Amino acid sequence: MTELDPVIHAQARLRVVASLSTLGEGDKIAFPRLQELLAMTAGNLSVHLRKLEDAGYVEISKTHRGRTPATLVRLSRRGRLAFEEYTEAIRSLLDLTPSKEQS
Amino acid sequence: MDLDDDLPPADAAAALRLIQDQRSATARRLDPDARLLYWPWGVAWLVGFGLFFLRFPPGDSELVRLPGWLPLTVLFALLLAAAAVQAVASARAYGQVTGDSARRGRWYGCAWGLGSVSVYAGTGQITEYLPHDRAGLLWSATAVGLTGALHMAGGAIWLNRDLFRLGVWISVINLVGAIAGPGWHALVVAAAGGGGILVAGALARRRQRERQRL
């Protein structure tokens, strides 16, 4: 599985990207909500989001909701494309190597 | 299962399972249970307009002896309760998501609020010149007509065929009830309208479950 995108091909980041991919293309989610959905610690999620941001896969914006600052996360177009390609690659791997546990 | 690491999934099957599990878990949390969005309205119409029919049926005599203020009070109380349930369910699901979807929802909500106010302002002006039964028909046919049109619009906004069909159904039964006349309108809206919303809620829930399994 060497040709798989190394940014996404890590359990934690794959979960982050899979989660974000369920949002509409123009939608952003608040950091604490994403953290809750993924059941990850804030520090851990931050680390993975930074890696995804460095790759241009997620966009992070700071804003204000009333007076409280809020961090919003969104899957970029590039990130969405990378996730779709990754999923395709995984599917074709499964088609080529039919495994016993395939359900 | 500890996933707080940089390790790749064990194999392709594990990766695919992880994607599917995560997507369906997220979709379940970010999508309010469709039954909460439909059924309270269906119950409100069924009970509220049902009481209205029993108290003010076609003709002069009432079918069931009820205070005159009861049907409308119950209808409004149930409609308010349905709005509250919908607001809470939506806020819990979409509360922390912003962007295009939120804007769509907000503007659609404005269409309901402002649309109702502007329509009723006109209706209120002529109510006093109508006999009681005609005034009742005017109000309910206008309200149900607006509801049908906005459901169709909602179907167009979210490209949701079931929502659009519900709007068509509500519009058609409203037409039938309005032609049938005072009294009958309430019966048609209670049975076919309220019942239609309950069925639409069950269908929407089924589709939602299919979607969330993906």
Domain of A67, in residue numbers:
11-85
pLDDT at B2 over 50: no
Q: Is residue B144 part of a domain?
A: yes
- Averaged pLDDT of chain B: 92
Report long-range pairs for B2-5 (Cβ below 8 Å, ≥24 apart): B3/A11, B3/A12, B3/A15, B3/A40, B4/A12, B4/A40, B4/A41, B4/A44, B5/A10, B5/A11, B5/A12
User: Which residues of chain B does A4 touch, with a Cβ-Cβ cutoff of 8 Å?
Assistant: 8
Q: Is residue A36 part of a domain?
A: yes
ipTM, 2 dp: 0.86
**pLDDT for position B60:** 80
**pLDDT for position B214:** 63
CATH of the domain at A76: 1.10.10.10
User: Which range, of B33-42, B44-53, B93-102, averages the lowest pLDDT?
Assistant: B93-102
Q: Is residue B153 part of a domain?
A: yes
**pLDDT for position B94:** 85
**pLDDT for position A103:** 44
Q: Is residue B8 part of a domain?
A: no
Q: Is residue B42 part of a domain?
A: yes
Annotate A68-92 with b (16+ C-beta within 10 A) or e (fewer).
Answer: eebbbbbbbeebbebbeebbebbee
Q: Is residue B186 part of a domain?
A: yes
Q: Is residue A43 part of a domain?
A: yes
Q: Tell me if B22 sits within 8 A of A24, measured CB to CB.
A: no
Task: Please measure the distance between the N-terminal and C-terminal CA atoms of chain A and give it in whole angstroms.
Answer: 20
Q: Is residue A70 part of a domain?
A: yes
**pLDDT for position A1:** 45
Average pLDDT on B163-187 reads 97
Q: Which of residues 49-108 of B touch A (CB under 8 A)?
A: 95-102
- B58-90 residue pLDDT tens: 988 889 899 989 999 999 999 999 999 999 999
Q: Is residue B11 part of a domain?
A: no
pLDDT at B213 over 90: no
Q: Is residue B25 part of a domain?
A: no
Confidence of residue B57 (pLDDT cuts 50, 70, 90): very high
Q: Is residue B61 part of a domain?
A: yes
**pLDDT for position A96:** 67
Q: Is residue A71 part of a domain?
A: yes
- A24-36 residue pLDDT tens: 998 999 999 999 9
Average pLDDT on B108-124 reads 94
**pLDDT for position A3:** 76
Q: Is residue A103 part of a domain?
A: no
Burial tier of B214 (Cβ tally within 10 Å: 0-12, 13-18, 19+): exposed
Q: Is residue A96 part of a domain?
A: no
Query: Domain total for chain B?
Result: 1
- B121-161 residue pLDDT tens: 999 999 999 998 999 999 999 999 999 999 999 999 999 99
Pairing of strands A58-65, A68-75: antiparallel
- For an interface test with A, the pick among B1, B98, B107 (most A C-beta atoms closer than 10 Å) comes out as B98
Q: Which of B6, B26, B100 sits opposite A12 (nearest CB)?
A: B6
Confidence of residue A23 (pLDDT cuts 50, 70, 90): very high
Q: Which of A9, A18, A24 sits opposite B23 (nearest CB)?
A: A18
Q: Is residue A2 part of a domain?
A: no
Q: Is residue A27 part of a domain?
A: yes
Query: Domain total for chain A?
Result: 1
Domain of B165, in residue numbers:
33-92+101-213
Helix (H) or strand (E) holding B99: strand B97-99
pLDDT > 90 fraction of chain A, expressed in percent and rounded:
73
- For an interface test with B, the pick among A5, A15, A86, A97 (most B C-beta atoms closer than 10 Å) comes out as A15
